[in-house]
Amino acid sequence: MAIKAAAVGVAVVAIIAAIIMGPSAFLVGDIGISGSNNLTVDGVVMPSQINTSGTLQNFIGGGLRMKWGFKVYVVGIYSDPKVMTSLKKKYSGFGANGSNLSDLATDFSKSKPAKTVLLRFQRGVAASDISDALGEALKPKVGAATSDDFQKFILDMVGGDRLEKGSDIYITCKGEKLSASLTGGKDASSISIKGLCPAIFEVYLGDKAVSPQAKKGFAEGVAAIMSS
């Protein structure tokens, strides 16, 4: 049975309902809960919780990354509950279409507790294409040198020429330390460059977000958390 609602971001409510009522599927817009408390984002199964950098993190929101009309990957944004507890104090009453979304996204991006961008690929892509695209999005925020360092870091972490459909990249920030992994935090590589961590999240949540769907899902997820 599926229960549909207007807002994507109220996935938090569906998670709680699924925990209480069992593994029946709860759909909320394009985000839903399937068995074992997994989420579906635009039909793609995503975990409702992850554990990276030694920290359990909850799903906040997400959406598709499109390029030239093709589905490239689904983005999931996760964080240590401490992040949302802190933001809830400052942005009580936040609405998904509120004018303070930019400020909230900036504060989220700069927060020190663990937070993660999970990329789940929906088509096979060259590893260099992904590292180049991320590097280009970062360059205006951190400069060419840091962007180039990050591109090389991602290529070395992937360790191959391609990312096949269904592959994951977990990018976790905790303080200034950025860790990346293909396996949910296991065997993670890490790098520490001042300003890199906030910039990574601004790529997805900033004024020129590369995935408007993911930014919208994040905003609606935060609004649902704020109202709970």
Give the model's pLDDT for residue 185.
Answer: 67
Burial (CB count <10 Å: 0-12, 13-18, 19+), residue 133? middle
Res 11: pLDDT:
43
The per-residue pLDDT for range 175-192, each reduced to its tens digit, is: 999 999 998 767 789 999
Q: In the prediction, which pLDDT does 114 show?
A: 97
CB burial string 143-182: b at 16+ within 10 A, e below: eeebbebbbebbbebbeeeebeeebbbbbbbbeeebbbbb
Classify residue 103 by its DSSP letter: H
pLDDT tens across 103-119, in order?
A: 999 999 999 999 999 99
For the stretch 117-168, pLDDT in tens is 999 999 999 999 999 999 999 999 999 999 999 999 999 999 888 999 999 9
Give the global pTM. Answer: 0.84
What does the alpha-carbon distance between residue 177 and residue 172 come to, in Å, rounded to a whole number? Answer: 8
> Could you tell me if 31 and 218 are in contact, meaning their C-beta atoms sit under 8 angstroms apart?
no
